[in-house]
Amino acid sequence: MTSDPSSRDGILAYAKESFGFLERAGSKQVTADDTSTGTTLAYILDLVTIEVELDWREGFVMVLVCRTVDGKRPPGYYAHEGKRMRVHLAEVLDSGTEEDRTVAKELRQVVKRSGPDAMRAQIDAFAAALRGVLDRLPEIHARFFAD
């Protein structure tokens, strides 16, 4: 039996499928933190971790590029012990090429909506944006987490 595509289970399955390319790119571990208000999928790569946050209460998706710490997800949230731990994907793109900045603007537009259909559109937009920077993750790590 297939779950309703706009249900929580349907959206979660869609997110796992859409971000599956991170596993094929060498993600060492995929973890899911799941609460009544949100689910976080974490794809741990060598230098960075990608966190996909599905906010069930507000009905939106957020993607964070994070520092990988000792092969694991970073502690804290945006910062820990004076070090940056996480940055929004749009902020990463803001510091890139002209095309990256255009994609960042598009991400900011797509996250203005909420609900199941909006979450699927956000998953599509974030997955496409990540594919566009995947080969630049070492450079992104150096730019944001090199302290």
pLDDT tens readout for residues 81-129: 999 999 999 999 999 999 999 999 999 999 999 999 999 999 999 999 9
**pLDDT tens-digit readout, 126-138:** 999 999 999 999 9
Question: What are the two backbone dihedrals, phi and then psi, of residue 39, each rounded to the nearest 5 degrees?
Answer: -130, 135
Dump the DSSP string for 83-135. EE-EEEHHHHHHTS-HHHHHHHHHHHHHTT--SHHHHHHHHHHHHHHHHHHGG
CA 46, distance to chain mean position in Å, is: 16
